Amino acid sequence: MRSNAIELRGVSRTFGSGDGQVTALDDVSLAFEQGTFTAVMGPSGSGKSTLLQCAAGLDRPASGSVRIGGTELTTLTERRLTLLRRARVGFVFQAFNLLPSLTAEQNVALPLRLAGRRVPKSEVRAALARVGLTARARHRPGELSGGQQQRVALARALVTRPEVLFADEPTGALDSRTGRDVLALLRAMVDTEGRTIAMVTHDPVAASCADRVVFLVDGRVHGELTGAPAAGIAARMTTLKAVPC
């Protein structure tokens, strides 16, 4: 039986106060088994990105418990939380977040440097090779296509060998062919290396690459699908977005 790589229990998160208070997450309990790929979907404003940020330790919930590999995040100091993220968590975002003045290999090496670790060039080159960018190691982001930049971001996430990878709309800024390539890389990380991936997406095709799809509505879990095709996921999304006239 697989253990849980990520576990949220009774997690709530609000923003603002008084009449302007908004509930982004409302008593969410959710587990992500080790070595699985989960997509999180829902209408705009449903709390998807907030869920990812709380699960990754980038944001603190107002209440509830968040665990990564059995470690409780909500009681950690900011310093210990930062160290845990550097050692055990990888991130890939739609915006790539590459430093424009650094080459691809320098961007990939950055998490290791920030962690105070020695940066063997062989490890950096191996990470770039995994995403098919060996020949682009010395190119800066401005010299790379959007798909290539996203693959550099993936290599940067992989170089620390994280237990868990969080991806927020990783294909949102890519064309369909490049998006498929990135999704194939994510799928391979789960199937061949046993990584755990939690991905927020609005795209049913992207979500169909996951083992399961969890749906959020108004900050609450609203069911899930396992092994569903893109058409089935799209149909479920349509019911979630339906608003009575």
Residues 171-223 have pLDDT tens digits of 887 888 888 888 998 999 899 989 999 999 999 999 999 999 999 999 999 99
More confident residue, 116 or 195: 195
pLDDT at 162 over 70: yes
Q: Rounded to two decimals, what is the model's pTM?
A: 0.88
Enumerate the domain spans of the chain. Answer: 4-97+163-241
- Digit-coded pLDDT (tens) for 121-134: 888 998 898 888 99
Class of domain 4-97+163-241: alpha beta
Whether 125 contacts 108, CB under 8 Å: no
In this structure, the dihedral spanned by the alpha carbons of residues 77, 78, 79 and 83, taken in order and rounded to 10 degrees, is 100
Query: Measuring CA to CA, how many Å separate 200 from each of 21, 71, 102, 145, 214?
Result: 24, 23, 28, 23, 10
> How many Cβ atoms from other residues are within 10 Å of residue 111's Cβ?
21
Q: What is the dihedral of CA 152, 169, 31, 15, to 10 degrees?
A: 120
Count Cα atoms within 13 angstroms, Cβ side, for 227.
Answer: 0
